[in-house]
Structure 1
């Protein structure tokens, strides 16, 4: 991740997040992503759009493969984890997430 400040119109910022999306039935998919976004983007709306677009693309591209694991056309659960990194390294964040217990 880039440590430099970014500017957007009348503000200077550095907002970095670690995003973990949860697949339906908690199937293993891939690790979370580090991302940064300008302050005018609402994280929850961004995440919902990201889930919608990736679900459509993945179900279109890998329909036969996903049919074995998902009986409904749903890839993601409504849950997600969004952590502000505060300058922490990806390894520190990964260790923190791995220590968390799975919800019931």
Structure 2
């Protein structure tokens, strides 16, 4: 896992039958709930609008293959900054 101030990079293995859009949604939902429960006072200063959001609705998924070999993806993720 790696990231920058406004996003993260996560490398994971998944069974081919897993719907990746649902997996990403689940990860965002669970992490948002847990972080809000544990750090709600600190996070509240960063929210805006009537319905505060922890995550953006966007995401990108890159699969391993000829154009993106596993060793290159591992290197890419490892070279990202660590989330604060």
Q: Same fold (TM over 0.5)?
A: yes
Which of the two has greater strand per residue? 1
Q: What value does the CA root-mean-square deviation take over the aligned residues? A: 2.8
CA 57–78 in structure 1, closer or farther in 2 if over 3 Å, else same = same
Please say if 1:83 is aligned against 2:66.
no
Q: Aligned pairs, how many?
A: 72
CA apart distance, 1:29: 5.2
Hey, what's the Cα distance between the residues in 2 that align with 1:55 and 1:76? 7
Please say if 1:68 is aligned against 2:45.
yes
CA apart distance, 1:76: 0.4
The runs of 4+ residues in structure 1 deviating greater than 6 Å are none
TM-score (norm. length: structure 2)? 0.67
Structure with the greater alpha carbon radius of gyration = 1
Q: Could you tell me which runs of 5 or more consecutive residues in structure 1 were left unpaired when the two chains were aligned.
A: 1-17, 21-26, 98-104
Which of the two has greater helix per residue? 2
TM-score (norm. length: structure 1)? 0.56
